[in-house]
A and B are shown apart, each in its own frame.
Chain A
Amino acid sequence: MGLEIAYLLRGTQVTIELSLLAFAGGGVLGFTVALLRVLGGSDVTLVVKPLVDVVRGSPLLVQLLAVYLGSSVLGFSLNPLTAAFVGLSINAGAYLSEIIRGALTSVPKGQTEAGLAIGLSRMYVVWGIVLPQAFPVIVPAAMGFFISLVKDTSLAYVLGLLELTRAAKDIVDRTLDPFHTYVIVMLIYFALCYPLSVLVRVVDRQLQHKGLARERL
């Protein structure tokens, strides 16, 4: 029993690492894509939007297989961890770019115009005026997305990556006790995700409170 728990905890560690890595990768990618679309206008959107749509419109599991198996066909075969990282980052990047872009475009146009009217560059206006106002929208939404990302990392088990779900499967193969094993695994995922969802609510309330404090006495 102790051995099995240790094995699950090792899987949990990989799950956490993969989640954080993919969130970082997706964050950088999503941020870049969102800025390119907002700053670049219709030309960039014409190229980038279909890519984002394809990623959002197809199953993550298929994307992971495409990266993993595709890479070996193309001759630079990625190990399971790298393939999972790349696949999840691309997927997260597509979703996060939409979250960030949506938040940026929700800031009233008058803000951009006022910035441009005093001679600020478009780049500075997005960075220094629009983004700070979009931030209170982006942060809770991105955190919420991170929670689903943690759960989505379980799909990486098809690549043979020894994360939490794969660890559970190995144990079940040996002990033939799927019921207890999977209940424990569910509780571990829950223990990872639930505090985060509480945190999202707190942060959301804090940010709103701060916004309101600026507006009222």
Chain B
Amino acid sequence: MRRGGLAFQIDDVTVRFGDLEALRKVSTSIGAGEPVAVVGPSGAGKSTFLRLLNGQTRASMGDVIVDGRPLSDLGPGALRELRSRVGFVHQDLRLIPPVRVIKNVLAGRLGRWSFLRSIAAMALPSRAQALAIHELLERVGIGDKLYERTDRLSGGEQQRVAIARALYQEPRALLADEPIASVDPKRASAVLRLLTEVCREAGLTLVVSLHDIERAQEFFPRLIGLRYGRLVFDRPTSEVSSETLRDLYSLEGDRQGDRAGRALS
């Protein structure tokens, strides 16, 4: 399934929620097959940034261009088509709680199935599907949970189900919003290694938001720093100094000014 990654271009995008600017005039681009980590303190706009990339959040100003096509031009069908090719790991997981793990993973393919086909698959997953999903689950370390009920799993296990679901989409880009928030440190590195490896092998674009700066530096060659909705830096990891990072997370800084800048009225 070497289909190549998707290229994203973010063009002077502002995202507003009421009078709050979650992102402010952000411009950057992410090349096909490139792995990038988005870092920044809580409320910086990381989730908003990721959700922007597959049109879950709409830009109030500016536009996102995916593989040469502006998202604002896509009709419902084209948008669905694009989304079915973008794996998304939500920060709050968003699994279907009362069904078996295998169905949650299968749900990743819904975007590419007709309604009848999806009914058949969800009611009675085929042998081949079960095997493929077992393999995926094994790679994230929960192969034995294939037929477990999803809401009986621990938080970390559920997080890995969400990752498996995104991978099962056979995506051309993978967007993961804090995919290691609730797994233990050792497992966290394994998950990041898996994500970067899968994406490198298949040539997928990978955008991950992370709180864990050290792991971001360890696994990603490029970092995007967000703070109060502004793009603070965007460079190769080797060029991000510890000074810059300290500023990114410092609680004082020019917060006052940023706050004023973020409020519109």
Chain B binds chain A: no
